[in-house]
Structure 1
Amino acid sequence: MRHMRIAVTLVDGVFDSGLSAVLDIFATANALSGTSRFEVVRLGASPEITSGQGARHPAKRFRGALGAFDHVLVTGFGASNADEVKQRLRDDDLKATVSWVVTQHAHKTPVHAACSGTWVLGAGGLLDGREATTSWWFADAFQAAFPRVRLDARYAVVRSGALTTAGAAFAHVDLALDVLRRESPSLASRVADHLVTESRPSQALYLVEHHARVDDPLVRAFEREVTASLSGSVDLPRIAKRLGTSLRSLQRKLTAVSGRSPLQFVRQLRLRRALALVQKGEHSIEEIAAQVGYQSAHTLRQLIRKELGTGVRELRGRRQR
C-alpha cells in the first residue's frame, strides 16, 4: 500500500463535527489496516485555527506546505445562511484557501469539498461546467452565485472527474468515505462498519420539504386548502375564489415566492405527503397513491424516482435500517 498525503483545509469557524469526522475516518483506516498509510495534514492561512465551538487546531500555513498531496479536502465552516457564506468568502482566510485550492487543482491534485466548503470550489471557478452538489438548504443561492455549475442538490455526494462535492455538514462523513473508497473500497467498507455509519446517497427528502415550505400568508392558505383535498381533484379556480383572489393573481404570487406554478406546487404537496406515508410504512404504495390523488401507483413511483433519484423500496429500506 502506498503512503498517501491528504491535505485538509481549515478556516476559523470550521464545523467541528465535520472536521472530526474526516480526521477520525482516516485515523480509523490507519488503525484497521495496521499501517500509517494515510497522513492527514491540516492547513490554513494561520498557524492556529479556532473551530466554531472554540476548539483550537494547529495548522501548517498554506505557503509553507511542502511536498505533493494525493488529495485535498475542503471542510465546511459555520454559516446560518447563504449570505453569511458569501460574506465569509470576502475574508482573507477564505481568499487564501480559494487561491491555494485552485493552485492544487492546477497541479492535478484531486480536490473534494463538503457543505459550505463547496463554495470555495465555486468561487475558484473549479465547478464551472461540472456536475456538483452542495448543502440542500442553500442550493438555490449556490446556483444563483455560480450559474455555470450543473448543480443537483438531490445527491449527498457527486463526483466529477478529480473533483468531489458533498452536501450538508454531516456529509463530511460521506465525503471522507468516498475519498477512501477511491483508494480501497474494501477498507472504506470496513471503516464504515467499524464506525457504524452508512452512505446517505440522497438529500432529496430534505429538498422536497424545503421547497414546499413558503412563508407567505396567501401561499400558506392555498397550501391548507390543497392539503385538505389531496385525495381528490384540486379545483384551482374554486380555491382561488375561496381565498378572495383570482387564479391569475394566485399564479403570479406562487411563481414569485416559490418559483412554481399552482400545478407544480400541488404536485410538490402531493409528493411531500406521499413520502411521509412511505416512510411511515403502514400503507401500500397503491393506497398511498390514492390518498394523495393519483389513480395509478405507477405514476407516483415515477414521480418519486424523478424527484428523488431513488425508488420506494430504497426509501422503505432506509426507514427500517
Structure 2
Amino acid sequence: MHSSDSCQAGRVKQVAALALDGVMTFDLACAVQAFRHGPDKTGVPTGFEMRTCGVRPGPVWTPNGFELRVEHGLEALETADIVVVPGIGLPTLPTAPEVLEALRAAAARGTTMVSLCVGAFVLAQAGLLDGRPATTHWAYCDEFAAMYPEVKLDPSALYIDDGSVLTSAGLSAAFDLCLHVVRRELSAGAAAELARWNVTSPHREGGQAQYIPDAFGHNDFPGALAATMAWAAANPAAVRDVSSLAGHALMSERTLIRRFKAEVGTTPRRWLEAQRTARARQLLEDTDLPVDVVAIQAGFGSVTALRAHLRAATGTTPAGYRRSLRR
C-alpha cells in the first residue's frame, strides 16, 4: 500500500527526526512544525507522530547557542515510516558508523528518507543517494559534488522527490519539502492549512530554482579585463553586444574572446547575459519598475528576452520572481 493510502485509511505515520551533534535547529524546527504540530490552535499532530532522536538519549550539542536533550536513540529509526535528517553545522565531517548503519537499515525496510539542507551529506555518506537525483544548499554544492560524484546533484532545485528518498535545499526550502511531504502523505488541503498556520506560501514547486548569487562581485574581476568588466556590469544597457566590450577593452573581438576564456572561464556573450540577468534580478527585488522598464535598464531590450533569461536562471517569470521574494 502506498504511504498516502495508509494515511488516508487512518493510520498515523511515525516520523523520526535525527538530531546529530551540530544539528541546525532551524532544519529541525521545520520538521517539528510539519510533523508534530497540527494545522490548528491545539498543536495536536494530524496524521503524523514525530519523535526526535539522537545517537543515544541525552544531550545534543548545537551550534546555535543552546543544547538540546532528546529522549530517544537510534532505535527510533527502527519503527519509523519517515526518517528526517536535518543538516549539521559541519556537514563534511564523517558520520558515526552506527548512524550510517541505522540509516541503511531503515532504507532497506522501505522507510521514506528525507534530508533537509546539508543533511544530504549524511544520506550520501550512507550511500542512499548513489545514482539518485538530489540537492542541497547551494553554498555546499561544489564540496558535495567533489565528495559524492556518484550522486546526480541538481544544485538549483528547491527540493527533489525521488520516491523513497527526498532532499531539499537550504533554510526555507527545508520547510517547502516538509510541506510537500504533508501534501504527498495526507492531502493538498492538509498542506495548505499547515502553510496557513505557519504564515507561509502553501506551495513552491521543487523545480523552482534556488536564488544563487552571481559568480563575480564587482571587486573580483580579473586581470586586463577588470576595467571593461566593471564598466559593463555597472552599465549593462550601454553594452550592445560583444563588439562593445571589445571596443571598450581596445581589443579585437577574437582577442577578447581568448582573454575571457583564459581569465574568466566563459565567453564574453555568456558573461554579459549573466550580468544583465543579475541587474534585472536586482531591479525586480529593489524597485517597483514595470517589467518592460526593467528589461531595458538591464540591457535585454525586450520583455521576451528578459523572461527567457530569468527563467533559465531562476526557473520563474519576472512577476513570479518579484512576488516570491516579496512574499
Alpha-carbon deviation of 1:57? 2.0
Q: Are the structure 2 counterparts of residues 265 and 211 from structure 1 closer, same or farther at C-alpha, using a change threshold of 3 Å?
A: same
Alpha-carbon deviation of 1:240? 4.0
Q: Are the structure 2 counterparts of residues 110 and 296 from structure 1 closer, same or farther at C-alpha, using a change threshold of 3 Å?
A: same
Alpha-carbon deviation of 1:51? 1.9
Alpha-carbon deviation of 1:173? 1.7
Q: Are the structure 2 counterparts of residues 261 and 66 from structure 1 closer, same or farther at C-alpha, using a change threshold of 3 Å?
A: closer
TM-score (norm 2): 0.82
Q: Secondary structure at the match of 1:8?
A: strand
Q: Are the structure 2 counterparts of residues 5 and 250 from structure 1 closer, same or farther at C-alpha, using a change threshold of 3 Å?
A: same
Alpha-carbon deviation of 1:320? 4.6
One-letter amino acid of the structure 2 residue matched with residue 51 of structure 1: T
In structure 2, distance between residues paired with 1:187 and 1:136:
29
Contact 1:9 1:97 (C-alpha < 8 Å) held by counterparts: no
Q: Are the structure 2 counterparts of residues 233 and 75 from structure 1 closer, same or farther at C-alpha, using a change threshold of 3 Å?
A: same
Contact 2:179 2:191 (C-alpha < 8 Å) held by counterparts: yes
Q: Hey, what does 2:215 align to over in structure 1?
A: 211
Residue correspondence of structure 1 range 9-20 to structure 2 within 5 A: 9-20=18-29
Contact 2:36 2:43 (C-alpha < 8 Å) held by counterparts: no
In structure 2, distance between residues paired with 1:274 and 1:30:
38
TM-score (norm 1): 0.83
Alpha-carbon deviation of 1:74? 0.5
Residue correspondence of structure 1 range 156-167 to structure 2 within 5 A: 156-167=158-169
**1:308 corresponds to 2:314:** yes
Aligned residues, how many?
303
Alpha-carbon deviation of 1:237? 2.8
One-letter amino acid of the structure 1 residue matched with residue 198 of structure 2: L
1:28 corresponds to which of 31, 37, 44? 37
One-letter amino acid of the structure 2 residue matched with residue 233 of structure 1: R
1:55 corresponds to which of 38, 47, 67? 67
Question: Which ranges of structure 2 fall in alignment gaps of 5 or more residues?
Answer: 1-9
**1:236 corresponds to 2:245:** yes
**1:251 corresponds to 2:247:** no
2:293 corresponds to which of 278, 287, 297? 287
2:142 corresponds to which of 136, 140, 143? 140
One-letter amino acid of the structure 1 residue matched with residue 89 of structure 2: G
Q: Hey, what does 1:276 align to over in structure 2?
A: 282
Residue correspondence of structure 1 range 26-175 to structure 2 within 5 A: 26-29=35-38, 37-48=47-58, 49-53=60-64, 54-62=66-74, 64-65=75-76, 67-79=78-90, 85-86=91-92, 88=93, 90-92=94-96, 95-175=97-177
Contact 1:153 1:203 (C-alpha < 8 Å) held by counterparts: no
One-letter amino acid of the structure 1 residue matched with residue 28 of structure 2: L
2:185 corresponds to which of 166, 183, 186? 183
Q: Are the structure 2 counterparts of residues 8 and 34 from structure 1 closer, same or farther at C-alpha, using a change threshold of 3 Å?
A: closer
Question: Which ranges of structure 1 fall in alignment gaps of 5 or more residues?
Answer: 80-84
Q: Secondary structure at the match of 1:40?
A: strand
Identity %: 27
In structure 2, distance between residues paired with 1:66 and 1:298:
50
Alpha-carbon deviation of 1:77? 0.9
Alpha-carbon deviation of 1:6? 0.3
Q: Secondary structure at the match of 1:178?
A: helix
Q: Secondary structure at the match of 1:76?
A: coil
Q: Are the structure 2 counterparts of residues 35 and 292 from structure 1 closer, same or farther at C-alpha, using a change threshold of 3 Å?
A: closer
In structure 2, distance between residues paired with 1:59 and 1:261:
56
Alpha-carbon deviation of 1:274? 0.8
One-letter amino acid of the structure 2 residue matched with residue 19 of structure 1: L
Alpha-carbon deviation of 1:236? 3.2
One-letter amino acid of the structure 2 residue matched with residue 261 of structure 1: T
Which portions of structure 1, spanning 4 or more consecutive aligned residues, are displaced by more than 3 angstroms? 30-37, 64-67, 199-205, 212-223, 238-242
1:262 corresponds to which of 268, 279, 293? 268
Q: Hey, what does 2:5 align to over in structure 1?
A: none
Contact 2:15 2:35 (C-alpha < 8 Å) held by counterparts: no
Q: Are the structure 2 counterparts of residues 252 and 96 from structure 1 closer, same or farther at C-alpha, using a change threshold of 3 Å?
A: farther
Higher helix proportion (structure 1 or 2): 1
Contact 1:134 1:167 (C-alpha < 8 Å) held by counterparts: yes
